[in-house]
Every structure is written in structure tokens, then in C-alpha cells.
Amino acid sequence: MIDRSDDVLSAILATIRLRARIYHHASFCGDWALDSPQERRASFHIVGSGRCRLELAATGQSVSLAAGDLALLPRNTPHRLSGDAGAAFTTLLCGYFEFSLGGSNPILDTLPDLIVLPGECDSSSGAQLASLSTLMLSEADRLQTGSRIALDRLAEVLLVFMLRRYLEGAAERPGVLAGLADQRIARALAAVHREPERAWQVATLAAVAGMSRTAFAQRFAAVVGQPPLSYLCVWRMLLAERWLAEEGASVAAVAERLGYASETAFRKAFKRSRGMGPGGIRRQRGTAPP
């Protein structure tokens, strides 16, 4: 049996409800250009054959992509894909990721505007990613019965594989991904995700990480980008938003599930985090308690 109790990445993606869609699959030759859609959703591109260039509109940053390369734009920063000199024939598969919960995204918010993952890599995660990309391109070419939903589901797995590959190179920015790459901090993150209702203190989390209280607090803040108890509050509020807006749980029930001493204390914490009370989230999402 696989023990998923410490799988922080899976827990976060499940809570913020990852969904993926393929929106473009085409072949190009000669001079061509493809501008990014305007939606503020994480997007990705797989180069099936040939070469192309990807340029960020605001900064002018430009990179060359070859067959097998993947590009991830966590905030769908405005960009353009265009033909690369000498590339006669280029095939692209493009898609986007979206999440049902609004507000901050603990995964994507800490990523740079553009991540390029080369097709050739000796690591096991690189081989997995290459195999999955090949499967998706083949499925897109054949377009058999059920291909649409198959491609969308494969794209969801693609994000997980891309994040694994990104973690191998060490996260560039403070955030939960950087925390997962740090063995001791990862133990504390797993404990928080496993028992969000527990009355955690910095000292008890430090003990889980096997560090002194001071060293842990400093290390956690530097790696994750916020103090341990602030991260605990963020995770609790993500869970609360899901339970309130998607499951129709009562405010009292959510407060109890998350370990708050009273419904009032939970309401204050939620409003401080989300800028509106639990009822506001329900009205915004068009849901109501049973």
C-alpha cells in the first residue's frame, strides 16, 4: 500500500482542484506566430517536432524551444510563439491549468514567469516527462474516441511531472516547493498538512523537523517565504474555502474541523486571510450551506 500521508504536493493540488485542458494542437511551417490567450491561467506548450521561439511580451525575454522541450508559464504571462529560422516544420501541443479555488495559489505563486524543461534529461523524472509528452502528442495526432478527456487528464498528470522535474533543479524562489526540496522543512510541512487541526507551535514543528526552535523558525521563513504559523493559517484557509464553497459545510463545522476554539475566532481568521467572511465566499461562489 502506498502511504500518501506525507504527500504535500498531492494534498495541495487536490485541495485547489487542479483541472487541465488542451486548447491547441497544430503544425506550422514557414513564417508563423501564435499569441497567448488573455486568460489568467497557467499555460504550457509541448514542442512535438521542429523548433520555435517563445518571447515574453513585457520583458522581451526570448528562448528557443526544440522538439521534446516543454514550457510552463504559471501566470500565463503574455507571450508569443513563432517560427525559428531554419525550422521547416513545427508541431505544438498547447494547454492550460486552472484551479477551482480563488485567491493565492501556494504552488504557482512561487514559480518564475517562465520555466523551460529540456526534452533530454538523464533523470528518472525527466524520462517520465518525456514519455508522457510523447504519449500526449501521439493521442493528439490520432484523435480517437475519448481523446479529448484522455488528453485533459494526461495534462493534469503533466503538471505533476513538470513540478517534480523543476524540484530536481532546486526551487529558485521561496515557497512550498522550495520547502519540499529541503528534507527537514519538508517533514514539518507534511505534519502541518497531515494534521491542520492540531494546535501547532513553532517548538513542536521544530521537533518534527529535528531542529532547534530558533534555527527552524529562521530556516522555514527563509525557504518557504513566511513563518511556520503563517503557513499553517494559509493552509487552513484553503481547506476552509473548499469545505465552505464546494461541500456546503457550516461555519461552525469548519471551525471545529480546523481546531479553532470558537466560530468567532475562525471567522476573524478567515476574513483576515480572504478579505471577506465565510458568507462572502459562499455568495461569490454561488453556494449555500445545507
Task: Tell me the pLDDT tens digit for each residue of 216-238.
Answer: 999 999 999 999 999 999 899 98
Read off the amino acid at residue 98: E
SS3 37: coil
Residues 83 and 52: beta-carbon distance below 8 Å: yes
Better pLDDT: 159 or 123: 159
With cell 530536481, the residue in question is: 168
Residues 193 and 224: beta-carbon distance below 8 Å: no
Residue 73 pLDDT level (bands cut at 50, 70, 90) = very high
Better pLDDT: 123 or 285: 123
Residues 45 and 92: beta-carbon distance below 8 Å: yes
> Tell me, which fold does domain 182-285 have in CATH?
Arc Repressor Mutant, subunit A (1.10.10)
Beta bridge partners of 71: 45, 116
CATH C-level class of 16-168: mainly beta
pLDDT for position 273: 82
Angle (nearest 5°) at CA 113 between 223 and 99 = 85
C-alpha cell at 266: 475562525
Structural domain spans, the chain = 16-168, 182-285
pLDDT for position 220: 97
Interval 17-44: pLDDT, tens:
888 999 889 888 888 998 887 777 889 9
Q: Taking 90 as the threshold, does the pLDDT of residue 87 lie above it?
A: no
Percent of the chain residues past pLDDT 90, beyond the cut: 46
Q: What is the CA radius of gyration of the chain?
A: 21
